[in-house]
A and B are shown apart, each in its own frame.
Chain A
């Protein structure tokens, strides 16, 4: 059974525990600027949206990499190999979601890789806004379900913010 991050933005209080946990887990320091998950703050509307890589099947980042430093693992997760990444940043402009970022202190790019299967962000989330769940559908199917159910949506809810029981993110 594949698993994915399921994000329910309605439950997010912008406490940023996910960002802290991600940064600590992956960078060894509490520095939200280096978190691979970010909470976007619609400050005029008091609304918060956790946002990270959906491990999309298209993997623009992977296709754009000139040295094959991003590969897809058995769980469909797009993983950056630090030993191969030259830091050219082409993936950061190629990813149309903007979820690959450059880490100037290492000279490499960083992106969510689900912490190898135990995502620190979901462990740290106190409100259940980020959960790590089994998924049954492939990424694009999930997207279609989401799209159908929110066709008239005028909110900022996206594939990362499905209703309970729907899976978003990785897992194909």
Chain B
């Protein structure tokens, strides 16, 4: 069997390893679009502020790992796919035959249409090469403008802050992390940033990027509020979109991402997709959505690989969740954090101490949650949401006292061990661990 995996992020690497596990004799080729060993984009902020070196971003540390696994790792970018002839052509000219193909090409940063965004010192923060560029310009006390205060922008914000940069963050939405948390949480984050000396401009757009005057910082950034600011570095983080452009004419249907079924198979025969490039099922809505987060990429990679290898595995869906450290203020959100259409909400707000917890219920089930300034046992929120336990009387207790979450978890989760987070079937299967796992 010849497996080809296009992409060497967490989805691609997990898929390759899973395939090797279940099919020891297969030929596995994994194609990365960048020159480095497979690495995690999530680790780039930690590289930027010096917590790790470049090798600290690698998905697997052992340089011989892929050879040992007999995974052929090559560099190249997709040229095109002939899904009838089952051939993938690469930008390098190489043409690969496949029996099963996995597309795990991830996402690319969206480039906002700002004049001057091609100037030196205007960077995205998506690749190792981007990080190297940022390191060139982000010195201590350098003025930096960060465009976008979404989840990724806010993570970069912390890295730049820890490097000692003087930061202005510009966000089009009325608050920070608008797609991850509500007004209360976003407002808290904004106040926290201001208290750390970061200038936060919400409801604001960057209109222009120009070269700075002689003797001034490299760039001058114009805002929609009429103001402008000098900058040694401008980091663009306005969002990402699935990397699917090369699929035109391939028979692989795309929407905002690649369309996949519950087995992560695309509309083309023997072609699967996983991770940021595709629209897997969101377990909270039952509908396809692009959930561009690490755990989902890994989950997809494993499930797609099992299906490619003929071990049918139905994907119930992935839970959207994020955790963010904003200069020491840690926040997280899970599932339907915006609330159910018809549901109830429990809230704990302590503006003075930057603490917030909000639980969203539908019937007597927890369907979403947000936390600011609370980290202990926060994974229990995932446990309760993903398993869909009936909370029974505990829902009423939580409506009054959301801080009793841990008690509620122990009381409820441990009363349902066969369907609880203890049961493997709610998550991705582990190869060799099928015995006893229900729901496969």
Contact = CB atoms under 8 A, between A and B. Distances in A.
Interface in B379-437: 379-383, 386-387, 406-407, 409-411, 413-415, 417-418, 421-424, 426-428, 430, 433, 435-437
Contact of A49 (B43, B376, B410, B428): B410
A interface: dominant SS: loop
A58 B427 contact: yes
Contact of A93 (B334, B409, B436): B334
B375 interface: yes
B46 A102 contact: no
B341 to A, nearest CB: 24
B: contact size bracket: 35 or more
Contact of A98 (B46, B295, B383, B407): B383
B337 to A, nearest CB: 12
A100 B376 CA distance: 8
B321 to A, nearest CB: 5
B152 interface: no
A140 B436 contact: yes
Interface string A101-124: 110100100000000000000000
Contacts of B51: 86-87, 107
B382 A140 contact: no
A94 B42 contact: no
Given A94-B382, A96-B382, A154 B415 contact: yes
B415 A153 contact: yes
A140 B424 contact: yes
B382 A101 contact: no
B417 A146 contact: yes
A48 to B, nearest CB: 11
B323 A68 contact: no
A95 B379 contact: yes
B57 interface: yes
B interface: dominant SS: mixed
A156 B411 contact: yes
B379 A68 contact: no
A68 B60 contact: yes
Interface residues of A, number: 53
B61 interface: yes
Given A89-B375, A90-B295, A156 B422 contact: no
Interface stretch (A12-20, A22-30, A59-67): A59-67
Interface in B280-306: 293-295, 298-299, 302
Contacts of B293: 90
B356 interface: no
B379 A67 contact: no
24 contacts: A42-B410, A56-B422, A57-B433, A58-B430, A58-B433, A60-B379, A63-B298, A63-B428, A66-B59, A67-B40, A67-B59, A86-B43, A86-B52, A87-B325, A88-B42, A89-B325, A89-B332, A96-B427, A98-B379, A98-B383, A140-B435, A143-B417, A143-B418, A158-B414
Interface of B: 10, 14, 40, 42-43, 46, 51-52, 56-61, 293-295, 298-299, 302, 321-323, 325, 328, 330, 332, 334, 375-383, 386-387, 406-407, 409-411, 413-415, 417-418, 421-424, 426-428, 430, 433, 435-437
7 cross-chain pairs, A with B, having the tightest CB-CB distances, nearest first: A158-B414, A96-B383, A98-B377, A98-B380, A96-B421, A66-B40, A95-B379
Given A67-B43, A151-B418, 15 more contacts: A42-B410, A60-B427, A63-B295, A63-B299, A63-B427, A64-B295, A86-B52, A89-B332, A93-B322, A93-B334, A96-B383, A98-B380, A98-B381, A140-B436, A157-B414
